[in-house]
Structure 1
Amino acid sequence: MRILAAMSGGVDSAVAAARAVEAGHDVVGVHLALSRAGGTLRTGSRGCCTIEDAMDARRAADLLGIPFYVWDFSERFREDVIADFVSEYQAGRTPNPCMRCNEKIKFAALLERALELGFDAVCTGHYATLVHAPEGLELHRASDEAKDQSYVLGVLTAEQLAHTYFPLGTTPSKAVVRAEAAARGLTVAQKPDSHDICFIPDGDTRGWLAEKVGTQTGDIVDRSGAVVGSHEGAHAFTVGQRRGLSLGMPAPDGKPRFVLEVRPVTNTVVVGPKDALATAEIAGVRRSWAGRAPASDAFRCHVQIRAHAEPVPAHAVIGSDGVVVRPDVPFEGVAPGQTAVLYEGTRVIGQFTIDRTVSAAPLPV
């Protein structure tokens, strides 16, 4: 196959490209420039797609003996990922920019260009597996559960999966990948994994949002509506948050309070006890299926609501109002804007963006 290897500058994508070459494919490496700040530097494990990452990717491609290019996707990234992130927070939702990047950039914009240029597939260093089942191509969890990234790939469609290549999916551990990189002479063998939001490398999401949308004083209220504090912008809060509330009035029982709801229209943040975070139902309209659609409109599955959350057994129903999921055991701290990924065993069924939640804890009388 003719394969375009997306090379981030990290060890996973470098080894994935190396395995594609070793498998006999015609491989070309590409690094995506997602920021117009050309002199951006990397700080330890924070951030990605920096000038140093581009140089690391080029060195890996040179060692592998494959052509290498840098493609400027910064404008598309700004519109589809960064602008979406800001607007979602302004609407009181909690977005996942990695999901949006996979959906809009790596497996949409990049894949579209790859196909236009005659490539058969895009290769990445994601930890997930593709299975050719009798019913069609399926996306499954990786062998290494600790590194499994099938959750952030849940947005991929059947057509996109048909043109993807995940060489690391059956690798038993990240340690094996690092050892292989060292044996191949790749200088990124011990490079730290990137984490946090790539376009907020210092990790200060609240400060970054304040610069983008400004500040506006509003009330923090309890579940009865009583004002218990104030804030400088509802966009800085998310459901389940405990730190940074600065409440002027302690709870009657002396226990800590958590963000239960963000109301952007009134610039209000609602707080309450931890047990009020229990969620009995989630639902959403915007959905996609990773391969074949469910055979029935009502089915059992496991649902994962965060990249590293435990999957929860649940009952799902597809109707005119979208996908409705009722977990056997309540979720904790679910925020609108998060992505719910549905599984059947290790297979990814599909995903939806959470629009609505129903609390499992009744309001106090």
Structure 2
Amino acid sequence: MVGDDNQFLYVVLPDEFKVIEMQSMDIIKSVDISYIGILKTVKNILMLYTSCGVDMYSSVDFNLVCNYRRGFSIDDMLLSDDNEMIYIMNKNSFLSFKNPLLSKTLKLVGPQEEEKQFITYINKLVKKTCKEPYTGKPWLIEPVHINIIHLYAYLGQSSILYQSLTNVINKRPFIKSEDSWTPLSVAIFSNYSECVHAVIKSLRFQALLEKANGLTLQALEDNLDELNISGYPGMTKLYDSILAEDASQQNPSLCDSALSLPIVLLSDYAFPDCENFGISRDPPETATAIEYYKSLCRFPMVMGSEISIEFLKSLSKSPNKAIFETELISTILDEKWTVARKLMLLQAVLYFIYLIFIVFYNAFD
């Protein structure tokens, strides 16, 4: 099955589930679970089903969001065209129920056997009598489409928030709510500086583990403007983390020495192929050793667009001027200036042509 953006291929094997980037063919995610099939993506949630339930993954970074178990066996599963209904078939019966992701009333989406445990923990968390992160299986809360990470951020629990995002065994996914709020958005809006630092530190930690094959830092894209303006002291380290070496084995380590380096590529894809840079896979006669670096976040690079202007404004308003010294920001600004110069040159040429027409018009009028 191909993802909605035609960038990723989802493959279900007899004993494994893989997410493959279609250009580079790099394996982004591999899970040793025997899934029967895949349902289409709903609210950025990718649903895969086994014989006993549904596992829901984020279609952004492919981390497990929750397990949906309701005590029935599954031979096959279908999703209605409007995504509202889920149909289950087994040897003895045909069942149908409403898609829990589209619930209009309060709905806890997770393993039924742990529901009381989760509710008890939430009550303790709200009363601030809880000092440790939740160690059970992950849950979603609908229709607001949040998980426990949002609650940690909302309640200002920075220590628990950091532990929950970095725990390898019980790591909680970073997702957007129904209204596009992330845990980081909540922390910034609530002015919880310790929670902001906890989120960014944990995401940088995850990105370091994933190296350049991860998509974790894309979670920061919607909040970079606010972080710049706030003068968050760790922005230089963050921008240094966002620009990472691409160690993909698919790209050659040598290029023709006649090529002018560095080559900067603006791409919508997180994993661009070497041919997008104009670099051939064939061994060159005279070679130069090269390295590939890429941004782990997407930046607004369309000149004149509203989001591009807002990003530039946030940079200019940032009290932390050291961000301009980072390689990533200096490269982005250089590229924008290069495009701006070309546009100004084009405008000058068009204006010159306009003046010539005016002169000829007046001369022969």
Query: Which category of TM-score, normalised to the shorter sequence, fits these structures?
Result: under 0.3
> TM-score normalized by structure 1?
0.25
> TM-score normalized by structure 2?
0.25
More strand as a share of residues:
1
More helix as a share of residues:
2
> Larger C-alpha radius of gyration, 1 or 2?
2
Work out which structure has the larger RCO, using CA pairs closer than 8 Å and 6 or more positions apart in sequence: 1
